[in-house]
Every structure is written in C-alpha cells, then in structure tokens.
Amino acid sequence: MEATIDRRYASVYLESIQEKQWKRITTFIVRKIISPIRSTSNPYGIWIMDNTVVTPSETRETILFKNLTPFDYILEDSATTNILVGK
C-alpha cells in the first residue's frame, strides 16, 4: 500500500521511516489515491498525519512483496512501466 507524508511533517518522519525496513504505523487515514502515477495498483493509500506513530516492527515473510519498486527508481524515472499504474 502506498503512503503519503505531508511536507509539513516530512522532517518528523525522515529518520524513523526508511526503505526496506518493517514498521508498525498507527493513527493514520486511509484514502483513495488521486495521483495519476502510483507505485501500486491498490486504489487506496495511507495518509500520515502529525499524530501518526511509527515504531519498529519485527521482520515478516516477504514472499508477497517481492515486486516492490525502490523509491529511487521512481524518482529517477528508471522504474519499469509495468509496475507503476497510471489513470
């Protein structure tokens, strides 16, 4: 599932949310994604707020998550187009 952090709160979560780490996220909003470019085909995403709590989580089996696209690939526009979803 895709997650979005408002720019106002990005600095708060910069250190606690890193790529390829398992986290437990509580107190957030689930909303429909309206962006034409998405990193997942899921129509809903997590909206992280100022009172969202992010804590470490134990590692879980990743067999269902093997096709994740690294965020750097999206920024560099080098991700394959069969992974990103457009409206």
β-strands 44-48, 2-5 pairing: parallel
Write down the mean pLDDT value for the chain. Answer: 78
For the whole prediction, is pTM greater than 0.85?
A: no
The beta-strand segments (E) located in 1-87 are 2-5, 23-26, 29-32, 37-38, 44-48, 53-56, 85-86
Q: Residues 62-87: pLDDT tens digits?
A: 655 556 677 777 778 777 655 444 43
**What's the domain range around 49?**
2-86
The pLDDT value given to residue 76 = 83
Count the domains in the chain. 1
**Residue 11 in 3-state DSSP?**
helix
**Residue 67 in 3-state DSSP?**
coil
The pLDDT value given to residue 19 = 80
Q: Residues 33-60: pLDDT tens digits?
A: 887 777 777 888 899 888 999 999 888 7
Q: What's the CA gap between 33 and 3, in Å, rounded?
A: 10
